[in-house]
Structure 1
């Protein structure tokens, strides 16, 4: 996991729970999204964004797009990341 944040100014976090068990508990579309994500998302964070999006009535694809946009905002705030643009996700 360190390779994803090796050259980043973003904070690293430690997890107390078993990350693989939490990952395995995610719905299939979320597991696929996390597997290709640019950042090392926690299953709890992914599930939180997903649940809020779905509660607002968004489709699965729209909920996944909201995750991609959230990731883009995080990457944009990283002062070492210069090649990622939020506009490319819309």
Structure 2
């Protein structure tokens, strides 16, 4: 049997990024609505990137619009990466 740990998630087209600092402190500092969205997200988001998108989408003034924008970005990323995992069967 092959060692699956060596090959899992290596076919993904999504870029890997190394974290700097404490991810839990960064997560705890996020607005409550954004933390709630992140808790149900399909993909693992860094607090920094989620907050950047949240702020650009006006999350402070319109949290529901910012969540909708985050959902759209996440769905786009999932569609882009779906071809990698499609085994054709």
> Match of 2:58, SS?
helix
Aligned residue-pair number:
77
- Tell me the residue number matched to 1:88: none
TM-score by length of 1: 0.73
Matched, 1:62 2:53: no
For 1:58 and 1:22, the matched residues in 2 are separated by 21
**73-82 or 30-39, which deviates more:** 73-82
- Tell me the residue number matched to 1:40: 44
- Whose Rg is larger? 2
| Greater RCO structure (CA 8 Å; 6+ sep) | 2
For the Cα contact (< 8 Å) 1:19–1:42, is it kept in 2? yes
Unaligned runs of 5+ in 2: 1-7
The structural deviation recorded for 1:20 is 0.4
> Match of 1:80, SS?
helix
The structural deviation recorded for 1:10 is 1.9
Superposition pairs of residues 1-90 of structure 1, within 5 angstroms: 6=9, 8-54=12-58, 59-78=62-81, 79-80=83-84
Structure 1 runs (4+) greater than 3 angstroms displaced: 5-9
TM-score by length of 2: 0.74
